[in-house]
Each structure stands twice: as C-alpha cells, then as structure tokens.
Chain A
Amino acid sequence: QSVLTQPPSASGTPGQRVTISCSGSSSNIGSNTVNWYQQLPGRAPTLLMFRNSLRPSGVPDRFSGSKSGTSAALAISGLQSEDETDYYCAAWDDSLNGVVFGGGTKLTVL
C-alpha cells in the first residue's frame, strides 16, 4: 500500500492531453513539493519533474506539473507513443523523514 495515491492506469490518443493525479496528506504533499519520475520497462526511474513544476534539462515542455493543497498532477500534452510507460509521484514526508511514493500509473497511448 503506497502512501501517495495515483490511478493505476491512464490512456490517451496521440496528440491528446493526459493528466495523472497524485493525492497525499498534510505530512507529505501538504507541506512539501512533489516530484515525478518516469520509469521505462526494466529501467531505473528518471526525474521528470521536481519541486512541483520544474523540468530537468532535456525534459520536453510537453510535460508540466502542478500542486494544490494535498494533491498534485502531471500533465502530458501532445501525447506521443514514446510516452507509454510508468509514472510515479513522490514527496518528502515529514513524519517518515524520508521519501514516499505513489503506486505508479501505467500510461497507455492508444
């Protein structure tokens, strides 16, 4: 059981805009920023978004992030087939004194 809650799956057609939600509590998302990771099959996660809405170098601006209260969202616009993979949200948790993760969302490009 993951501390942060994500939908297990999401889907969209090429060119469409898709949003993945992430819900937490006051000890994590409510008081800290949210980070997103992309994990290709059989690979390590890579940082996709940090501090709610900042993109690391090399991440296309089709990806955007937002946070409100104890929830956050990752939006992908202009969906491409290469976006089909798993996405995880994460945040620092003040009670755990560590990082907590969502259960992951598998994105399918139809």
Chain B
Amino acid sequence: QMQLQESGPGLVKPSATLSLTCIVSGGSITSDTYYWGWIRQPPGKGLQWIGSVYYSASTVYNPSFKSRATMSVDTSKNQFSLSLNSVTAADTAVYFCARVMIVVLEGGDFIDLWGQGMLVTVSS
C-alpha cells in the first residue's frame, strides 16, 4: 500500500526558502493514474491547495503563491519536492504532500491519499 512521507527542516528563517520533499513508498511515482500535490494548513485553520506536479515534471500552481512556489519530481528517487521562497510568518503551517487521483470521467480530480504532514515554522 502506497505511503507518503514529508521531510525537510522544521524551522525556516524569514525571507529564506522553505524546501520539503515527499518520499513515495509502496508504489511508483510514474503513474498515469495519479499525480502529486502539496497542501498546507496554518495552525488552527483550514486547508489550502498550493499546487501539483506530474511525473513528467509538468506543474500547476495556485496563483495565491504568486510564483513563490516551485515543484519538482525525481523519478529515480521516487519523490517530489516543494520550494517556497521569500517566506514570512504567514507561511507557518503544516505542509502535506498528497496523491491526486485522475478522474477520466467528468467530476474533477481528487486527493485520495495524504502524507502525515510536517509542521514548518517561519521564525528568526
């Protein structure tokens, strides 16, 4: 059964770059059934979609992140990554990586599997 696991620094300084990696185990990242996404949840708040990346390295980002976000995929390591630059305290959140199921029929793709999440705190 596939599992996702986030890794990276838990503390990032203001104006620096937040970098996280999601390791995919129990299955291949090069699937035509899924692609991969990042979502965050500020403390005590709701969920926010950051963007997605296909194994082909094609990406789509939430405009709210105004080109601060960059996603990539490393098929040789079966993992994908998120970088978010120029961070501020408002970027403090639990960051989740996720698997997004492709829906061939009408209805829209959806997240069917989440990583456990990683708290990233932006502070000097």
Residues of A within 8 A of B (CB): 2, 31-33, 35, 37, 43-47, 50-51, 56, 88, 90-92, 94, 96-104
Cα-based distance from A63 to B119 in the complex (angstroms): 30
Count CB-based A-B contacts (< 8 Å).
72
- Apart from A45-B47, A92-B107, list 6 A-B contacts with CB within 8 A: A44-B115, A47-B112, A90-B47, A96-B62, A99-B109, A103-B46
Q: How far is the CB of B75 from chain A (nearest CB, A)?
A: 23
Chain A residues with Cβ under 8 A from B49's Cβ?
Answer: 96, 98-101
Ordered nearest first, which 10 A-B pairs have the shortest CB separation?
Answer: A92-B108, A32-B108, A33-B107, A44-B114, A101-B47, A103-B46, A98-B49, A35-B110, A99-B49, A2-B46
Known contacts A92-B107, A92-B109, A100-B49, A44 near B62 by CB under 8 Å: no
Q: How far is the CB of A56 from chain B (nearest CB, A)?
A: 8
Q: Which residue of B lies closest to A93 (CB)?
A: B108
Contact status A47-B62, CB under 8 Å:
no
Chain B residues with Cβ under 8 A from A91's Cβ?
Answer: 108
A-B contact pairs, 8 of them (CB 8 A): A33-B103, A47-B113, A98-B62, A101-B46, A101-B48, A101-B49, A102-B46, A103-B45
Q: How far is the CB of B95 from chain A (nearest CB, A)?
A: 11
Contact status B46-A35, CB under 8 Å:
no
Q: Which residue of B lies closest to A99 (CB)?
A: B49
Cα-based distance from A94 to B106 in the complex (angstroms): 12
Q: Which residue of A lies closest to B116 (CB)?
A: A44
Contact of A32 among B48, B51, B52, B107 (CB under 8 A): B107
Cα-based distance from A34 to B47 in the complex (angstroms): 15
Among A35, A44, A103, the most chain B Cβ lie within 10 Å of the Cβ of A44
Cα-based distance from A33 to B115 in the complex (angstroms): 23
Q: How far is the CB of B98 from chain A (nearest CB, A)?
A: 9
Cα-based distance from A45 to B48 in the complex (angstroms): 13
Chain A residues with Cβ under 8 A from B96's Cβ?
Answer: 44-45
Known contacts A44-B117, A96-B62, A88 near B110 by CB under 8 Å: no
Chain A residues with Cβ under 8 A from B37's Cβ?
Answer: 98-99
Q: How far is the CB of A5 from chain B (nearest CB, A)?
A: 11
Chain B residues with Cβ under 8 A from A92's Cβ?
Answer: 107-110
